[in-house]
Structure 1
Amino acid sequence: MSQATTTATLSGAETDIGTYDYIIVGAGSAGCVLANRLTADPSIRVLLLEAGGKDTSPLIHIPVGYAETLKDPKVNWLYQTEADPGTNGRQHVWPRGKVLGGSSSINGLLYIRGQRRDYDIWRQLGCEGWGWDDCAPYFLKSQNQERAGLDGHATGGPLNVSDVTQKHPVSDAVIQAGVEIGIPRNDDPNGENQEGIGYYQLTVKNGMRCSAAVAYLHPIKQRPNLTIRTHALAHHVIFTGKRAIGVQFSVDGDLLVAKASHEVILSGGAINSPQLLQLSGIGPADLLRRHGIAVKVDLPGVGQNLRDHYVVGMRYRLKPGVKSVNEMTKGLTFVGEVLKFLFQRKGLLTLSAAHIAAFVKTRPELETPDVQYHILPATMDQKKLFDEQKMVLEDRPGLTIAPCQLRPESTGRIEIKSADPSQHAGIWPNYLADSLDQQTIVEGLKIGRRMAQAPALAGLIEAEMEPGSAVVSDEALLAYARETGSTIYHPVGTAKMGRDAMAVVDPSLKVIGVDGLRVVDASIMPRLISGNTNAPTIMIAEKASDMILAARGQSSQAA
């Protein structure tokens, strides 16, 4: 059922499709992991509900296809935020996966875990059992690291992690330029020390995307104890008293009900999980009453604490004769790249959202990096990008250096705008509201410019297109950031874990104030981690799977 379809079109009678041990709402990065790990026990029956469709499109599986899927409404919800004051009243498009694998099926394929410090801060915020030493084993459990000899990595897990299939001379020059301005060379940003510059690693296997669906769901989807329903839009969680016992959902206009004998697990992500909690009567009481929803639990933190990485691009025109990725998409060169992919699984079609990772400190007194760069020897046609949301490479050679602040202080919110589950929730990102965020992004732009001016790159660059040489002062750089930046697709925190008054789940990820209901996805992060969020979300689900199975064992022993 499309989310544009209203509930008024549904047939009146509910159909009960039966009882399962667990119902998982959302087959994204977390839901696929849960489905795999829970059904490894053949006695456990699981229903996995996904509002999107199957991940059959070739553009999902060819890595560079993300340039198309990031704007394709068939596999992407393409949420639109409310007007955002911190970015000159602009509305931002937030791509989220509408397909098996969720956003891992449409993301930029970058594998980053974050810093040890991120998780130790979670523990200090009251999330016992979520420090780095607690989480690290689950990163290892999930991983199949192709590069040999890396400390702190593992092989044998479902999620394949590999090096880029083809380096690029301009990207090599970027690394050298970073070293020239004092950024250390670092070929493993997922190691003990994140600071430095080097090539990203990717969730790619044999030249193809390794989404959560490919890694965790496809190998086990034929298990008899797993039922997968696509195009299944969850309406609300069903309760008996304060215990969750099932989910009401719709498929193609039919209203269905499924029961859960053990737990309902929400894995819809930072937008959909708080929306479903609110639709189910769990959230800020005033908001729920305003939409005619009976209050089950007045939980003010539901939908609050929204954090996202805000990225600002700097574009450079390379000199004539310097080759970039732009020209690889044209004419006979592109034909050659297609053939290279078909026969070698290498080259342009295996390209990720960025080649080079740089993690830097904007202030010397910082303990760890506070800015991440996504750097690619390519430039987008800005008019098509802003006017049509199309990622089209320019004809002439270019380079993009794009910083984002790793740990933003600004927080936004997610709130339902209707009791109708088919209507998108409101998204208020509240970018750059905090003065530290403003200062950090300005410093990030300055460091990016220093990199471009270093000897290794300066000889390749014809001109700085954006922000442009006239944009020099802190005020002008901040104005540029407000006018041109946007999401890099990492929303978290809207059902945060903790012990304080704004917590939504406790450290076992159980929703506070009710029984039989957990949230397992990026929304539980109390603070945004220092990097891309896919690998940490998979880690969360790996850890949650063990907690759920342990609780089941304890329940059986008690019985």
Structure 2
Amino acid sequence: MQPDFVIVGAGSGGCVLARRLLDAGARVLLLEAGGPDTHPMIGPPAGFPKLFKSRVDWNFHTAPQVNLGGRRLYWPRGKVLGGSSAINATIYIRGSKQDFGGWTNASGEPVPGWGEGWSWNDVLPVYRSLEKFRGQGSETRSSEGLLPVGQRDTSHPLSHAFVDSAARALGIPVEESFNDGQHLGAGLYESNHHLGVRQSAYRAFLASERGNPRLTVLTQAQMLALRWEGNRVVGLTFRYRGRVKEVRAGGVVLAAGAVQTPQLLLLSGIGPRDELDKHNIGLRVHSPGVGENLQDHLAVPVIFRSKVPSLDAVKELPALAEWVWRRRGPLTSNVAEAGAFAHARPGLLPSAPPDIQYHFGPAYFREHGFQKVPGNHFSVGPVLVDVHSRGRITLHSADPDAAPIIDPRYLSDERDTRSLIAGMRLARRVAAEAPLADVCAGEALPGEEAQSDDDLLAHLRRDAETLYHPVGTAAMGDTDFSVVDRRLAVRGAAGLWVADASVMPRIIHANTNATAMMIGARAAAFLLEGGA
């Protein structure tokens, strides 16, 4: 193998990066620690909970969370071609103009965006270049890309009712799309489906290229260490089919995600000196920001009983048969069919971005879908998107097979707690507004007896879970704390780049998958322009 570039991780960023490099004529070796995307529940969008804790999931858990009753939260991450885009809920939302351009906080103080080179005007053309939008064209949308995105063919009537009720109850507009740079309003979500089938980053960008002689994709291939010549990375060693192999390349790109990219950097001697010394790892680059700045969206279930049939009433075998034979029916739902963005925490200025995003599902969705109860339900789940708590990723040991220590330090900033408590109260207001109120048969969770802030806090501590959006652990920027520069090159290590959600200096106020793909595309442009 004599590739121009080795990419570690076939997730959202890695697959887009690989395709862009191939299109430019480069030779690419793509290493994926997981297997092929042959699991039967990857295709049907509603099948994603069946993928959790399966062979296509890394099945991580956090350190005990002090502010969540000492619980160790389960974190699913894709261990398969396509990465987490192969096991997620296929919601397609870009970051907003405020995310990239800066905004005003509750005190009226300006908060910077991602900085020079990463404004909305810089990233919008890249977002557009990725998508094959099945809707009306506009200045912000494109049908020329490879990723099918747009509205589902059908959505549950409860989802339509939620949109109308949320708009009325919260005083926000009904939006046709959340992908035009604005995150305020209620609407049906766009999804990366095509004819009822999930389109992961691998399926959209790379599956058609498997016969390309310039592309080598190895599954069950785990990176072990970088190879160095002075301060330059010239390749890596990896384990493949039980053997340790070496490869030399013109450049190495880590795209293993916000959990494992910092782990790989640390194992390779790039990180805080004290952390490396603790595990007897030789220092290559003192980079104090590696593993720091961890941010994630925390969600809490607010669930209501429904007077009308919901997805809870679906019989699994007939639904699976309908999907297999016709690519239609309930399994074409992504469960979280609709959403809304709103200001919940008291004191937030209208000019500040929304602090809560609601994910609506016409089903009982608690603990990642593992918990089921009889009857029909709908879920109005507030998700914290204006995140102030910061955590970190550190090593458990120098063994590359050992999972890292994940400590998001949820609710370590009191503002996050206040936002989610306020968000739960607004969820109740939405369910009490017509037309949703007309089909609501009462509150199932946390229950109508939970009225005080203390009651709601107890529910938050007991039931909050990740919404699967970790970012920030190899953050981009210009300071000594920044891990990569604005062209995604690792500072202090020539020939090494990062192309995944770990480079986000600040989490966007929405789902992160589309932005991870945008980052992969930008990384390709930087590499082809000459890198650092």
Structure 2: where are the runs of 5+ without partners? Answer: 104-110
Please give the per-residue CA displacement for 1:238-289, whole angstroms capped at 9, x wherever unaligned. Answer: 11111001111101321111111x2110000001100000000000111111
**Residue 47 of structure 2, aligned match among 58, 61, 65:** 65
Counterpart in 2 of 1:14? none
Change (3 A) 1:390 1:478: closer
Is residue 2:69 matched to residue 1:88?
Answer: yes
- Counterpart Cα distance in 1 of 2:450 and 2:138: 42
**TM-fit CA distance, 1:391:** 3.1
**TM-fit CA distance, 1:356:** 1.1
- Counterpart Cα distance in 2 of 1:279 and 1:130: 29
Is residue 2:26 matched to residue 1:29?
Answer: no
**Residue 302 of structure 2, aligned match among 314, 322, 327:** 314
Change (3 A) 1:544 1:399: same
Partner of 2:36, secondary structure, is coil
Partner of 2:488, secondary structure, is coil
The size of the alignment, in residue pairs, is: 521
Is residue 2:312 matched to residue 1:323?
Answer: no
- Which stretch of structure 1 is more off in the superposition, 209-218 or 466-475? 466-475
Is residue 2:469 matched to residue 1:490?
Answer: yes
Counterpart in 2 of 1:198? 187
Partner of 1:531, secondary structure, is coil
Amino acid at match of 2:95: G
- Counterpart Cα distance in 1 of 2:298 and 2:291: 19
Q: Report if the CA contact (8 A) 1:188-1:194 is conserved.
A: no
Is residue 2:139 matched to residue 1:157?
Answer: no
Amino acid at match of 2:16: V
Partner of 2:42, secondary structure, is helix
**Residue 101 of structure 1, aligned match among 71, 74, 82:** 82
Amino acid at match of 1:522: A
Counterpart in 2 of 1:47? 29
Partner of 1:449, secondary structure, is helix
Counterparts of 1:349-428 in structure 2, within 5 Å, are 349-362=331-344, 363=346, 365-367=349-351, 368-380=353-365, 385=367, 391=370, 393-428=372-407
Partner of 1:440, secondary structure, is helix
**TM-fit CA distance, 1:204:** 0.3
Is residue 2:38 matched to residue 1:56?
Answer: yes
Please give the per-residue CA displacement for 1:139-187, whole angstroms capped at 9, x wherever unaligned. Answer: 0000110012455111020111021222222222212211221222112
- Counterpart Cα distance in 2 of 1:395 and 1:125: 45
Amino acid at match of 1:372: Q
Is residue 2:91 matched to residue 1:110?
Answer: yes
Change (3 A) 1:70 1:518: same
- Counterpart Cα distance in 2 of 1:390 and 1:396: 15
Amino acid at match of 1:134: D
**Residue 516 of structure 1, aligned match among 454, 473, 495:** 495
Please give the per-residue CA displacement for 1:293-312, whole angstroms capped at 9, x wherever unaligned. Answer: 00011111000000000000
Structure 1: where are the runs of 5+ without partners? Answer: 1-17
Counterpart in 2 of 1:239? 228
**TM-fit CA distance, 1:110:** 0.3
- Counterpart Cα distance in 1 of 2:269 and 2:324: 51
Counterpart in 2 of 1:12? none
TM-score by length of 1: 0.90
TM-score by length of 2: 0.94
Counterparts of 1:264-283 in structure 2, within 5 Å, are 264-283=252-271
Is residue 2:303 matched to residue 1:303?
Answer: no
- Computed over aligned residues only, the root mean square deviation of the Cα atoms, in angstroms, reads 1.8
Q: Report if the CA contact (8 A) 1:24-1:46 is conserved.
A: yes
Amino acid at match of 1:170: L
**TM-fit CA distance, 1:192:** 3.6
Amino acid at match of 1:425: P
Change (3 A) 1:214 1:250: same
**TM-fit CA distance, 1:346:** 2.5
- Counterpart Cα distance in 2 of 1:354 and 1:151: 27
Q: Report if the CA contact (8 A) 2:114-2:505 is conserved.
A: no
The percentage of counterpart residues that share the same residue type is: 39
Partner of 1:107, secondary structure, is coil
- Counterpart Cα distance in 2 of 1:93 and 1:411: 18
- Which stretch of structure 1 is more off in the superposition, 532-541 or 365-374? 365-374
Change (3 A) 1:538 1:243: same
Counterpart in 1 of 2:441? 462
Amino acid at match of 1:197: A
Partner of 2:98, secondary structure, is helix
**TM-fit CA distance, 1:329:** 2.7
- Counterpart Cα distance in 1 of 2:455 and 2:95: 31
